[in-house]
Structure 1
Amino acid sequence: MRELLLIGIGTGNPEHVTLAGVRAMRTADLILIPRKGPDKADLADLRHQICASALEGAATRIVEFDLPVRDASGDYRTGVDAWHDAIAAAWGAAIEQHPEARTVALLIWGDPSLYDSSLRIAARIPELRVKVIPGITALQALTAAHAIAVNEIGAPFIVTTGRQLRGQGWPAGVDTVAVMLDGSCSFQALDPEGIDIWWGAYLGMAEEMLISGPLAERSAQILSERTEARANHGWIMDIYLLRRRR
């Protein structure tokens, strides 16, 4: 049985890769790097930079493959399931093109355990034995960049998505909410009074952007700078933490 390594690589900084991650990359026979189209070529380039930093002198091969695009025209869950099926097929096809590779690795942004579907996709390929090498999450990178704790003393917090924040509002029972996968800046749906925000994009990279302060005062700035950055780079990865003042 072949082994599939899902290696968490943090948020784009080669120094985010743990020693265990570097070791796994160097012992892999093959690393697969997805291509997401010309407007997101930087994402593949970042993975290549990480490989160049970790693989000097190693025999590991690097192969690119095309990643399917999600059809967002219909029901969300149905579209995601079909997309994951297509990605699993793409992974399988890329792996089968290299029968000599017994250990194959994929480099996962952040960590495979937190709002990433790599494990669910890998489960669609039962002939692979999956091993996870954890990485630094976007939430860790955000709180480190702002030098804040994610929780208040003895208090819980919730990690959720922009879709959930828009649809359900502020989660019950918590004063702190971390929001991921939000291409719509869903904090706009909240009453900003009494809420602080810590926002970050391109965390750990040379392009890192950080904004914090009262949501009422920072919302327009985040919207403007986020739009400009996405236009300049063709893509953006961002995350933010919201906290109600007591």
Structure 2
Amino acid sequence: MSKTFISWNVNGIRAAEKKGFLDFLSSCGADILAVQETKACPEQLSAALQNPPGYHAFYCCAERKGYSGVACFCKEKPLAVSCGLGVEEFDKEGRTLILEYPHFYFLNIYFPNGGQGEARIAFKLRFYERFLEKSKELFKTGKTVIACGDVNTAHREIDLARPKENAGVTGFLPEERAWLDRFFTEGYTDAYRAFETSGGHYTWWDYKTRARERNVGWRIDYFMVDEKSLPNVTGADILTDVTGSDHCPIRLRMNI
């Protein structure tokens, strides 16, 4: 059966609602729409965001108000939904939703940003480690594993417009990129790169410098699929025409 999955860092779901998020949800054709950086808990949201027509909505929010958070909007109700990776320092930031279906697991992850100094970079790398551990647990079930979200790291030079200028900036540090190497050698495949090998394709642009107008961006949002299921992927693309955030959505099509 063909499935369409979309992932989008909305940079505040209440702000996104004012910019047409619900219209996008109703028209995008996603079987699952995963969003990151919701910056809200369900009780802070409109009835339409809590119960959108045609979708089941699931939220995982941070202890800190107006920070982080992820959500999934699903046409088909999952068998089970879990919030977090089972580690308190990560889970209190509301960064992970895991949905279980009969034939696959779907992970919606808002990976930490490494800003604010070395301690936060170390936190980010610990989060990567735990994510990979959890993924390996799910791989062992034999089900397809699909992970998506804002990874907050550009993997290779081709994934950002100005790699040399950003070589010492978090999001493109050698140790961060090395972790993506591990993801893509220990079970996962970067779905987009299975279809597109050229540069100039980005998912995030800095608001302050009007970088989107000049396409000076970074590709830091990913769909990652377990290697054995990659032959079932029929398409992966970036929805650059969709505005409303400093990120744009990404899409995966797959037979499951």
Task: Give the TM-score normalised by the residue count of structure 2.
Answer: 0.28
Q: Which has the higher contact order (CA 8 A, sep 6+)?
A: 1
- Higher Rg of the two aligned structures: 1
Task: Give the TM-score normalised by the residue count of structure 1.
Answer: 0.29
